[in-house]
Homo-oligomer: A and B are copies of this chain.
Amino acid sequence: MKTRDEALALDRDDPLAPLRNRFALAPGVIYLDGNSLGVPPVAASARAQAVIGQEWGEGLIRSWNTAGWFALPRRLGDKLAPLIGAGRDEVVVTDTISVNLFKLLSAALRMMAERDPRRRVIVSERANFPTDLYIAQGLIEQLDRGYTLRLVDDPADLPDAIDDETAVAMITHVNYRTGYMHDMASLTHLIHQAGALALWDLAHSAGAVPVDLNGVGADFAVGCTYKYLNGGPGSPAFAWVAKRHQNTLAQPLSGWWGHRKPFAMDPRYAPDEGIGRFLCGTQPIVSMSLVEAGLDVFLETDMAAIRRKSLALTDRFIELVEARCAGHALTLVTPRAHAQRGSHASFEHPHGYEIMQALIARGVIGDYREPHVLRFGFTPLYTRFVDVWDAVETLRDILDTEAWRAPEFAARHSVT
């Protein structure tokens, strides 16, 4: 892709191009932050009106049954399942990634305590998204039974770190900062060979890259609906539990939504059969309902097509940045190998923060992650090849003219 015309030609040939019309895109913006917050599906606004006006306003309390509110966490879970290689009754959309990690990590440790109580180590990466590590730390401190969190500094160190002391390996499939993607199949195999359980965080995977949880035989997973799935700001997360584990697991957030008969009002907790026991409390129905508008767009394509376009976009973005911004101290931190790359591309630059502010001021929205990382997400449902071209040209101009040195772009630690 050497010219803007070539980019436009790629867009004309793109089989996913028509899906861009399913989204309400802000005019004058090139949005490369769908890996942090996806854009609104066109259907979201009308869906919210229907939920507020008809379901809430007219149906009132009856809508728990008549509008299917009670069933939403499981129904949306079933709709999401094919995107991550899961089956029916294996996924619930509920709560947050942090809360779901707590449930699954608790359940995993308890399962392992019965199977092999000497295993007291949770293995993860120091570069994992922090909340995953914080939740493990909070649980370890609460249990106060000698559990430890073992962190590796390099993905290549994971095989050595996962051993006969390991209870659970809690791994994020695609790294939020670098875009590095693990080989889920071989790592799950390795974890199981070591006698441990595999808990995957799919925050930057669901809707972005093909995932086959049942195919690789994983044990647990959590993920996000507000990034590539376009569910809306802070829309509820999801939890997946392999069918073989569901009925043997207990999790401590045993609220009434996980009860076998929530309306029998029994004072004793009795967990639901199956995935239902991973629910806890009443969910935010308006935000939940919008998740469906995002998922519905995926019914018009498949993850293989999305992956093809994702790699084509990140390939071209990396090539163009390296060709047209050469000599500007930008260092690619995202793997070049397709098998190790998610759907975003990140470059380090000593003035990454200021450069990103200058880009945003010109309508090219990526984001900045400490330290030094300019992060650009590519969302094949609505990102065009011409957006790649235009974004790189804007970046080039900002670097060539040193526009990022303007005082208004200086780091103000607004996000610390």
Contacts and interface: CB of A to CB of B under 8 A. Distances in A.
A232 B98 CA distance: 24
B255 A98 contact: yes
Interface string A310-342: 000000000000000000000000000000000
Nearest to A235: B284
Nearest to A44: B52
B98 A263 contact: no
The list of the 9 closest CB pairs from A to B, nearest first, reads A96-B281, A98-B255, A284-B287, A138-B254, A98-B281, A233-B285, A131-B256, A142-B252, A134-B269
Stoichiometry (number of copies): 2
A245 to B, nearest CB: 18
Given A256-B131, A285-B287, A286-B232, A39 B24 contact: no
17 contacts: A26-B58, A37-B60, A40-B53, A56-B233, A97-B281, A110-B142, A131-B256, A131-B281, A133-B267, A133-B269, A138-B254, A141-B252, A232-B284, A237-B281, A263-B370, A263-B416, A284-B286
Interface string A260-281: 0111111111000000000011
Contact of A261 (B133, B284, B416): B416
A309 to B, nearest CB: 21
Contact of A287 (B133, B266, B287): B287
A126 interface: yes
A134 B281 CA distance: 11
Given A255-B96, A268-B137, A284-B284, A57 B233 contact: no
Contact of A57 (B26, B51, B141, B262): B26
Contact of A98 (B234, B280, B416): B280
B256 A134 contact: yes
A71 interface: no
Contacts of A250: 141
B137 A254 contact: yes
A65 interface: yes
Interface in A359-412: 360, 365, 367, 369-370
A40 B53 CA distance: 8
Contacts of A180: none
A165 to B, nearest CB: 20
Interface string A2-21: 00000000000000000000
Nearest to A269: B134
Interface in A97-134: 97-99, 102, 106, 110, 126, 128-131, 133-134
A228 interface: no
Nearest to A414: B65
A299 interface: no
A370 B137 contact: no
A348 interface: no
Given A45-B53, A369-B265, A233 B63 contact: yes
A26 B233 contact: no
A346 B340 CA distance: 61
Contacts of A414: 65
A36 interface: yes
Interface string A229-249: 000111111000000000000
